[in-house]
Structure 1
Amino acid sequence: MSSPFFTQSRTATTRVTRSGGGQRSGGTLAAALRSRLSGRQSEANTAPSVEVKVEAEEEKVSEQEEPFTAAPSTGDKLLQQSTVQPKPEPEASPPRRRRRLVKLEYEKEDVASGIKTEDWEPPAWKRQLEFIRDMRSGRDAPVDKMGAEKCYDAGAPAHVRRFQVLVSLMLSSQTKDQVTAAAMQKLRTHGCTAQNVLATDDKTLGELIYPVGFWRNKVKYLKRTSAVLQEEFGGDIPNSVEGLVRLPGVGPKMAHLAMDIAWNQVSGIGVDTHVHRISNRLGWLRKPTKNPEDTRKALEEWLPRELWSEINWLLVGFGQQVCLPISPLCSVCLNQFSCPSAHRSSPAKRPKSGPPRSPSPRIKAEPGRDQTINQKTLSPTGQRRVIICAI
């Protein structure tokens, strides 16, 4: 046998024999070695199955990695079996929690630009709108009786009615409805068609529409617009916003209202000074606007389209009766508790220059005497000086 244990035992036995101990000592050493080996063999046999499996896998790996090394001896195998410890299994790591994606609750995508924008609307606009409807239920505002819907001749041909709607809208700019209705009545008596307007001289046309605001400029706009309509549309008006805004003196507000009243098509919100003022006062805009066109764009971003036609009529009459430009009647408004501009004082008027006027003292005449009053002499401040002469 090639084991170093047996080689060492032979040497020890030879030495004992030479010393005179006999075979008894050698036999005792051999028996001790056998018992020792048998004890190790029993320990190896009683090792758990996990250790044997691990040892077998290690031997297999070692054979694959070192194919040319000599096989270990039996004693080495027994010693290796007794010292091999099972590898601890790696602890299972807890599963990682995935982060939840945060998504906006209200968002819409602009198809043209591909940019997602968050929806916005005023907090209490529906309740405020219902209150305005209640306050406008009487339909007794000037716009209800003398607006553009009431100024055309219902018995005229369709293209003439549409032309008269456009003319009334052009005259209504910076003008009260009462003045616009009076001017339209005189034009209709004269003949309010594109052909008749072209045949009327500027002086006569000015007398017909006076005293509307900026009447001289409007005379020019009416003549130029009538010429375009007569030449390109046969006296009718265009049926698109793009075609209407090309006409002289016609802006976006007039174009959208003309599309609604004349053509019965809702193309946008007609925003005049009343709609512009009230929308800013109620907080119906994401941020305050400075002109009606910006107000129109801001309203159309959130206001439902089915309300675009009604909102002009509601707010114009509401602005004429309750939400006045100066000193609005907030005390009778149903929205006074939800309107952010309610009960704000109007700006103070600037006093006129010059010294304050003092009231003229009252002079009592003596009984039994006549009095003559000379009212021709005026004081430096503009007050009349009273001179009392006793006769």
Structure 2
Amino acid sequence: FRNPNPSPQKSLRHPSLSTGFEPDHSAACPIPKQDHLSNPPVPMRNPASEPNPGSESSNGGSASELRVFVRKKRGRKTIETQETKYEAEPLDQKLRGPPEIEEFGYKQVNGSFQSIPTGEPPPNWEKVLEGIRKMRSTEDAPVDTMGCEKAGNSLPPKERRFAVLVSSLLSSQTKDNVTHGAIQRLLQNGLLAADTIDKADEATIKGLIYPVGFYTRKAANMKKIANICLMKYDGDIPSSLEELLLLPGIGPKMAHLVMNVGWNNVQGICVDTHVHRICNRLGWVSKSCTKQKTSTPEETREALQLWLPKEEWVPINPLLVGFGQTVCTPLRPNCGMCSVSDFCPSAFREISRSPSKSKRSSLSKKL
């Protein structure tokens, strides 16, 4: 039987397909238009869920983010929402800039103030040290005439201490002749004392110390150090290792050097990259309870102080620095002219091949 009054059948097609009318979803959520069906869904962030620098989520807490995806499929638009949780980046990592010069931890080693070694010394170390002294007897290395300890030799004790501190600051990742030139320019312009540096313009200081490494940062640190020395030490420098290490840009190597030269107070070995490299090449140092090489100058200092007699703590720095500048160089060390190469486990292992051999080997590979 047929219904005498049939009701009109509802169309299953969307009105927009027959009339060309496109429904407006903007009242619920603004949707960016897609130019092509194959475009990937566009994430739309909910402004209320964005991390606020002053909120808990921006200080290491968690937050959520609402994303709205728009898809086109066979002429229809569908809206999908997806809630994603994420961990906000800790604030200290966000604000952390490039690492400070010589930024590494400082630790005192048990027995570091004793003249009796507390560790097992390497074999033949005395013969090696004596052989290096003979090779360094001519004193023809840059450190012999332009080292940090030479800064302000003609100045009164108080001014000389400050000059040594500034020279140590500038010496990081900088050759001795460049550091020496910067110190001379500062001295000629009357800017090698705490009061004059404090009054000077930072741009002027930066121009005088250029081209030392990190000269912009070092100029700013010079101003800060000068102000601290004026306010707390009457223009002098701190007389303790701990207070020196609190100064901006001053690391363990610099602090030990300043204590040795400025105050004649030996509290540790001044270990720079030369001392660090040579001690590892000689097999004099290793990480605690291992046979691995030390990774930083500070690790080398700790390991070296465990066995080296204290009377050698001061002279070993200029001795090995000059040796590293002339013989045991960073690249292609001159092992052939080294009189202690027989005692060195690294001898002749870092010498590169001659250019002719390199060319022959490359040609043979091509053939």
Distance 1:324 1:302, change over 3 A: same
The answer to whether structure 1 residue 284 and structure 2 residue 289 are counterparts is: no
CA distance in 2, matches of 1:240, 1:207: 31
TM (normalized to structure 1)?
0.58
The answer to whether structure 1 residue 212 and structure 2 residue 217 are counterparts is: no
Q: CA deviation at 1:347?
A: 6.6
Give the alignment of 1:346-385 within 5 angstroms.
Answer: 346=351
Distance 1:118 1:306, change over 3 A: closer
Aligned to 2:173: 174
Aligned to 1:128: 128
Q: CA deviation at 1:118?
A: 7.9
Structure 2: 5+ residue runs without aligned partners? 1-109, 355-367
CA distance in 2, matches of 1:295, 1:219: 29
The one-letter code sitting in structure 2 at the alignment partner of 1:265 is N
Q: CA deviation at 1:304?
A: 0.4
Q: 1:212-263, CA deviations, whole angstroms, 9 ceiling, x for partnerless residues? A: 0010010111011111001000110111101100101111110100011111
The answer to whether structure 1 residue 160 and structure 2 residue 159 are counterparts is: yes
Equivalent residue of 1:319, what SS? Answer: helix
CA distance in 2, matches of 1:262, 1:234: 16
The answer to whether structure 1 residue 319 and structure 2 residue 324 are counterparts is: yes
- 8 A Cα contact 1:153 1:188, kept in partner: no
Q: CA deviation at 1:121?
A: 1.1
The answer to whether structure 1 residue 140 and structure 2 residue 140 are counterparts is: yes
| Identity fraction in percent | 52
Q: CA deviation at 1:148?
A: 1.2
Distance 1:216 1:296, change over 3 A: same
Q: CA deviation at 1:159?
A: 1.0
Q: CA deviation at 1:119?
A: 3.7
Q: 1:12-49, CA deviations, whole angstroms, 9 ceiling, x for partnerless residues? A: xxxxxxxxxxxxxxxxxxxxxxxxxxxxxxxxxxxxxx
Q: CA deviation at 1:345?
A: 3.1
Equivalent residue of 1:340, what SS? Answer: coil
The count of aligned residue pairs is: 235
Equivalent residue of 1:198, what SS? Answer: helix
Q: CA deviation at 1:200?
A: 1.0
TM (normalized to structure 2)?
0.62
Which structure has the higher relative contact order (CA within 8 Å, separation 6+)?
Answer: 2
The one-letter code sitting in structure 2 at the alignment partner of 1:259 is M
Equivalent residue of 1:309, what SS? Answer: coil
- 8 A Cα contact 2:260 2:314, kept in partner: yes
Structure 1: 5+ residue runs without aligned partners? 1-109, 350-391
Q: 1:159-191, CA deviations, whole angstroms, 9 ceiling, x for partnerless residues? A: 111000000000000000000000000001111
Distance 1:245 1:160, change over 3 A: same
Give the alignment of 1:244-255 within 5 angstroms.
Answer: 244-255=244-255
CA distance in 1, matches of 2:353, 2:251: 33
The one-letter code sitting in structure 2 at the alignment partner of 1:175 is T
- 8 A Cα contact 1:269 1:308, kept in partner: yes
Q: CA deviation at 1:289?
A: 0.3
Q: 1:343-368, CA deviations, whole angstroms, 9 ceiling, x for partnerless residues? A: 0135789xxxxxxxxxxxxxxxxxxx
Aligned to 2:341: 336
CA-atom RMSD, angstroms?
Answer: 2.0
CA distance in 2, matches of 1:158, 1:337: 44
Distance 1:119 1:215, change over 3 A: closer
Q: 1:320-341, CA deviations, whole angstroms, 9 ceiling, x for partnerless residues? A: 0000000000000011111000
